[in-house]
């Protein structure tokens, strides 16, 4: 049982307790615990195996810790089963729909016999929900909207598809006379790997005119809804975008509110309330006097509460508020800190651009170093390099490095990790290279135990510098491999092999929670684009976003280090063989 499943059960318990009319604090305790487990970077299975005390996790008390233990050990929880048995079957199913509270769920089951999402959709569509006494048309409409949102959520858009569109629209919006502020909000601004929809916010001297100009932007295919301060549009790629215009004086509070996360905002409100303030999207009110303070800029919201500015990427209620109060937030790595890319392909294998074009593009970005890492010979489909071609490439690389000047060009490879954990070039060939990125490309279905052995064996090779796109997932297309991440992270931390945060928007691999855990265990990272064309270097920001969500500072990201320090990692890393 994984953390997400445990969290779901805790959430269901909270709802059933509410239905039973239990005291509020009890309900809230389970909701908080669910959230804490969902966000916890370490799987409970492992935590228990290693003898961790679950009560050390904020939000987990003795009784809930025992329940989690029972769930993990036996796969079921007697308490939950007994609770469920007190209600008609199907109620817990409906509780997963946001906006359907426990009472409504019970009513739907008892009076309409609805026990699944599909049945609920049908009951909304044929008017049975609207006809229920105590519910009515308004509730039915609300439920319909929630169902639609839920379906949309299942079709989440990769960040890499959403962000460029949002930026184009924002650029268009900023050209409109009288528009003073414009920003993305929501999960997009927090750099979540996928987003449900695109939320934009702004302020304008003449909101209706700005809305009219917005819906007329060339990217907009159709306006789905349009009011004096709001619009919902469909862009040509089929994405839905919401724009909301607000008063200048409230922009800071609104942006803060709509950036979320919901959990961060709950924690922030609670923190403020204990100090006598009430925070909302309309400003901060002094509870005693009722006086309301308005904020044009988001920074001012945090400053007013005595907090450091909290970067959107870490607004997840994971202790950031307490740290901000002490002025102790990490200084998160930034895209501008990146000084080189260590994973790039050329037209010698499956890349689109020449080696020289890649080097020039990296130089133009201001990089101090770049590694060319074409595929190894076993990659038949990508025209992998034979040893002879690899050596030939090295000669070209050296002459290009001289010609272009001002950038150190490392010769590397992205060597295949074969199914048995051996590498696709002999050691003496790997020894000639500056950078060895070892990656999984085939036999990705191996069971966890075998896959783990395979990876540990590969990473124990002293020539390996980097574990490339470690989970081998393709967002929305291919699931991650099954791997004992703890074992891999422990070994990487011990041997000094860097873990790649692959910034390619279709991968984003490692993902944020894994980076976070690996960082705790002392691993270091490279944020690489895996560029297959010069234009791909620009994707570095997506990987930096992942690193930031995992609280990484510049010291954790090796390719944010100056060349000399980076070469220390490459050539003088203390190699401790794992085998
Ligand atoms: Zn690869
Ligand atoms: Zn690659």
CATH assignment of 251-325, among 3.40.640.10, 3.40.1440.10, 3.30.210.10, 3.30.465.10: 3.30.210.10
Angle at which helices 387-404 and 355-364 cross, to 10°: 40
**Which residues make up the environment of ion ligand 2, defined by Cβ < 5 Å?**
414, 530
Query: Measured in whole angstroms, how far is the alpha carbon of residue 387 from the centre of its chain?
Result: 38
**How many whole angstroms separate alpha carbon 335 and alpha carbon 468?**
20
55 CA → ligand 2 middle, Å: 42
**How many whole angstroms separate alpha carbon 499 and alpha carbon 505?**
17
Question: Pick from 266, 298, 265, 338: which is nearest to 545 by CA?
Answer: 338
574 CA → ligand 2 middle, Å: 26
Structure tokens at 495: 């041997």
Range 192-210 average pLDDT? 93
439 CA → ligand 2 middle, Å: 8
DSSP 342: -
pLDDT of residue 576: 42
Q: How many CB atoms lie within 10 A of CB 410?
A: 20
Residue whose entry in the numeric block shows the structure tokens 């007329």: 216
Structure tokens at 24: 């509020």
Average pLDDT, the chain: 92
pLDDT of residue 579: 35
pLDDT of residue 93: 77
- 159-182 pLDDT, tens digit each: 998 999 999 999 999 999 999 999
At 287, phi and psi to the nearest 5?
-60, -40
DSSP 192: -
555 CA → ligand 2 middle, Å: 24
Residue 259 near residue 244 (C-beta atoms within 8 A): no
167 CA → ligand 2 middle, Å: 27
Q: How many CB atoms lie within 10 A of CB 107?
A: 21
530 CA → ligand 2 middle, Å: 5
Give the confidence band of 153 by pLDDT, cuts at 50, 70, 90.
Answer: low
Range of weakest confidence among 139-148, 225-234, 319-328: 139-148
Range of weakest confidence among 41-50, 58-67, 183-192, 523-532: 41-50
**Per CATH, is 3-154 categorized as 1.10.150.120?**
no
Ligand number, closest to the Cα atom of 345 = 2
Partners of 204 in beta bridges: 179
258 CA → ligand 1 middle, Å: 37
Give the DSSP letter string of 232-286: EEEETTS-EEEEEEE-GGGHHHHHHHHH--HHHHHHHHHHHHTTTEEEETTEEEE
Range 482-494 average pLDDT? 96
What class, spelled out in words, does domain 157-246 have in CATH? alpha beta
469 CA → ligand 1 middle, Å: 7
Residue bearing the bigger pLDDT, 256 or 110:
256
367 CA → ligand 1 middle, Å: 22
- 291-308 pLDDT, tens digit each: 999 999 999 999 999 999
516 CA → ligand 1 middle, Å: 22
- 20-56 pLDDT, tens digit each: 889 989 999 999 999 888 877 778 888 888 888 999 9
Q: What is the dihedral of CA 471, 508, 43, 559, to 10 degrees?
A: 90
342 CA → ligand 2 middle, Å: 10
pLDDT of residue 154: 63
Task: Locate the domains of the chain by residue range.
Answer: 3-154, 157-246, 251-325, 335-572
Give the DSSP letter string of 461-524: STT--EE-STT--BTTTBPPPP--HHHHHHHHHHH-PEEEEE--TTT-BS-HHHHHHHHHTT--
Ligand number, closest to the Cα atom of 373 = 2
**394-406 residues labelled b (16+ CB within 10 A) or e (exposed):** eebbeebbeebee
Structure tokens at 92: 């817990």
CA angle, residues 116, 118, 123, in degrees to nearest 5: 95
**How many whole angstroms separate alpha carbon 203 and alpha carbon 226?**
16
416 CA → ligand 1 middle, Å: 8
421 CA → ligand 2 middle, Å: 18
467 CA → ligand 2 middle, Å: 11
CATH assignment of 335-572, among 3.40.50.970, 1.20.120.550, 3.20.20.140, 3.40.50.620: 3.20.20.140
pTM of the model: 0.77
Ligand number, closest to the Cα atom of 531 = 2
414 CA → ligand 2 middle, Å: 6
């Amino acid at each position: 049982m994984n953390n997400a499943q445990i969290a779901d059960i805790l959430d269901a318990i909270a709802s059933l307790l509410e239905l039973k009319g239990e005291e509020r604090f009890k309900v809230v305790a389970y909701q908080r615990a669910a959230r804490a487990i969902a966000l916890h970077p370490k799987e409970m299975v492992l935590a228990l195996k290693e003898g961790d005390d679950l009560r050390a996790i904020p939000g987990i008390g003795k009784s809930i810790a025992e329940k989690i233990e029972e769930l993990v050990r036996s796969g079921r929880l007697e308490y939950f089963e007994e609770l469920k048995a007190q209600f008609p079957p199907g109620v817990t199913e409906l509780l997963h729909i946001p906006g359907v509270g426990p009472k409504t769920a019970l009513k739907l089951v008892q009076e309409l016999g609805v026990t699944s999402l599909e049945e609920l959709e049908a009951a909304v569509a044929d008017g049975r929900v609207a006809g229920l006494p105590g519910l009515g048309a308004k509730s039915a409409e609300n439920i319909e909207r929630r169902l639609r949102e839920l379906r949309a959520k299942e079709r989440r858009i990769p960040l890499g598809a959403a962000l460029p569109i949002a930026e184009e629209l924002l650029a268009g919006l900023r050209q409109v006379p009288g528009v003073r502020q414009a920003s993305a909000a929501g999960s997009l601004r927090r750099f979540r790997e996928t987003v449900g929809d695109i939320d934009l916010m702004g302020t304008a001297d003449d909101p209706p005119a700005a809305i009219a100009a917005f819906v007329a932007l060339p990217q907009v295919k159709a306006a789905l809804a349009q009011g004096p301060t709001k619009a919902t549009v469909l862009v040509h790629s089929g994405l839905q975008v919401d724009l909301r215009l607000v008063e200048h004086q409230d922009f800071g509070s609104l942006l803060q509110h709509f950036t979320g996360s919901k959990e961060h905002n709950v924690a922030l409100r609670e923190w403020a309330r204990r100090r006598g303030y009430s925070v909302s999207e309309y400003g901060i009110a002094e509870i005693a006097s009722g006086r309301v303070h308005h904020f044009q800029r988001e920074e001012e919201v945090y400053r007013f509460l005595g907090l450091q500015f909290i970067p959107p990427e870490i607004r997840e209620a994971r202790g950031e508020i307490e740290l901000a109060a002490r002025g102790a937030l990490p200084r998160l790595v930034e895209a501008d800190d990146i000084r080189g890319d260590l994973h790039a392909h050329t037209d010698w294998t499956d890349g689109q651009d020449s080696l020289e074009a890649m080097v020039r593009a990296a130089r133009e970005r201001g990089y101090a170093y770049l590694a060319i890492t074409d595929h190894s010979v076993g990659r038949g489909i990508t025209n992998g390099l034979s040893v002879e071609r690899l050596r030939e490439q090295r000669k070209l690389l050296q002459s290009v490095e001289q010609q272009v000047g001002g950038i150190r060009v490392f010769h590397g490879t992205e060597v295949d990790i074969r199914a048995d954990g051996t590498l696709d070039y002999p050691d003496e060939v790997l020894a000639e290279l500056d950078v060895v990125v070892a990656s999984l490309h085939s036999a990705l279905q191996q069971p966890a135990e075998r896959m783990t052995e395979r990876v540990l064996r590969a990473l124990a090779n002293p020539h390996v510098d980097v574990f490339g796109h470690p989970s081998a997932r393709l967002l929305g297309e291919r699931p991650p491999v099954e791997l004992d991440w703890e074992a891999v992270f422990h070994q990487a931390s011990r041997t000094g092999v860097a873990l790649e945060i692959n910034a390619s928007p279709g991968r984003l691999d490692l993902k944020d929670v894994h980076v976070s855990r690996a960082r705790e265990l002392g691993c270091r990272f490279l944020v690489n684009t895996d560029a297959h064309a010069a234009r791909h270097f620009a994707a570095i920001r997506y990987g930096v976003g992942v690193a930031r969500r995992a609280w990484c500072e510049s010291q954790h990201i090796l390719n944010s280090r100056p060349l000399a320090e980076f070469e220390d990692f490459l050539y003088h890393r203390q190699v401790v063989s794992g085998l």
